[in-house]
Structure 1
Amino acid sequence: MASNHRYEVTVTWTGNRGGGTSDYRSYDRDHEVTAGDKPALPGSSDPAFRGDAARWNPEELLVASLSQCHMLWYLHLCAADGIVVTDYRDVASGTMAQTPDGGGRFTEVTLRPEVSVAEPGMAERAAALHTRANELCFIARSVNFPVHHEPTIR
């Protein structure tokens, strides 16, 4: 069943201190990401690039998107296979290499899901489903760098 899904967000820059972008240090990187009636997501650039550490940066959001997508596929696969997940937590990390021209790219992301299952007999099957979740994850299939998995099953 092939179909297309469209996603629309609005990104609004809120960092004009009055002088616009008259020079590199004259403006904030603050912005808001909105979609429909959902609460606004406060964004900025990474603090290494003059951003506000209290706001989400695009790099964190990319890592979060990979983690969320993997978790949602994983939970679906577990439910379909009769594996009862009682807790799920992922401490994910990503590595971005900056290039001499100031650009950069992600070189890898590692997901570290900590999963609790209802019965010890479910643990082996639960661990195996991480591979399939990665194969199905829309976001993981869309990136050009490896997404590694280091799951722990309890």
Structure 2
Amino acid sequence: MADREHRYHVTVEWTGNKGQGTESYKAYDREFNVLAEAKTAIAGSSDPAFLGNASRWNPEEMLLASASACHKLWYLHLCAEAGISVESYLDKAEGTMMEARQGRFTQILLRPQITLRAGDDIELAKALHHKAHEQCFIANSLNFPIVCEPQIKHA
């Protein structure tokens, strides 16, 4: 298969100018909106630890959500191809970020709780997580480990 290039476009608009711009560290709010054509805006801010608004998504949460969602989408695709019927999928993912001179994520832990159709192959369903990780565009773009600890049961 030939390489295909995909381009994605978003607009990030800072909305936190309280009238003084960035005159000082505490003079402005961290609020922003993430916009993309024909999509609902995502209300963002920084993490509350960095004077952000806890009611808005922060970039760290968006990164974690992207990794979890990408893994899930690949996993569902691979299960469908393998004849495994996933009836529910809930991931309570956790990301670890170390704040040092240069803050960085050190790990993402995916904890999907999956229910399969009665009689489907649980061992194959577990094995497909490894393949989903290998295929995940987001995981392939990150420079830290993503660990997956699935819990799979029958309906």
With the shorter chain as reference, the TM-score category is over 0.9
Q: Report the residue type matching 1:97 in the other structure.
A: M
| Shift of residue 121, structure 1, vs aligned partner | 3.8
Q: Report the residue type matching 1:56 in the other structure.
A: W
Structure 1 stretches lacking a partner, 5+ long: none
Deviations 1:100-149 (A, max 9, x none): x3x30000000000110002442111111000000000000000000000
Deviations 1:1-59 (A, max 9, x none): 22000001000000000111010000000000001010110000000000000000000
CA distance in structure 1 between the partners assigned to 2:62 and 2:5 by the alignment: 23
Identity %: 56
Between Structure 1 and Structure 2, how many residues are aligned? Answer: 152
Confirm or deny that 1:133 pairs with 2:127.
no
Q: Which residue of 2 aligns with 1:117?
A: 116
Q: Report the residue type matching 2:79 in the other structure.
A: C
3-state SS of 2:96 partner: strand
Coordinate RMSD, CA, aligned: 0.7
CA distance in structure 1 between the partners assigned to 2:42 and 2:62 by the alignment: 10
Q: Which residue of 1 aligns with 2:144?
A: 145
CA distance in structure 1 between the partners assigned to 2:133 and 2:38 by the alignment: 30
| Shift of residue 69, structure 1, vs aligned partner | 0.1
User: Which TM-score applies when normalising by structure 1?
Assistant: 0.97
Confirm or deny that 1:108 pairs with 2:127.
no
3-state SS of 2:121 partner: helix
CA distance in structure 2 between the partners assigned to 1:25 and 1:130 by the alignment: 44
User: Which TM-score applies when normalising by structure 2?
Assistant: 0.96
Q: Which residue of 2 aligns with 1:65?
A: 66
Residues 84 and 120, structure 2, Cα contact 8 Å, conserved in 1: no
Structure 2 stretches lacking a partner, 5+ long: none
CA distance in structure 1 between the partners assigned to 2:56 and 2:93 by the alignment: 18
Q: Report the residue type matching 1:14 in the other structure.
A: T
| Farther off after superposition, 106-115 or 121-130 | 121-130
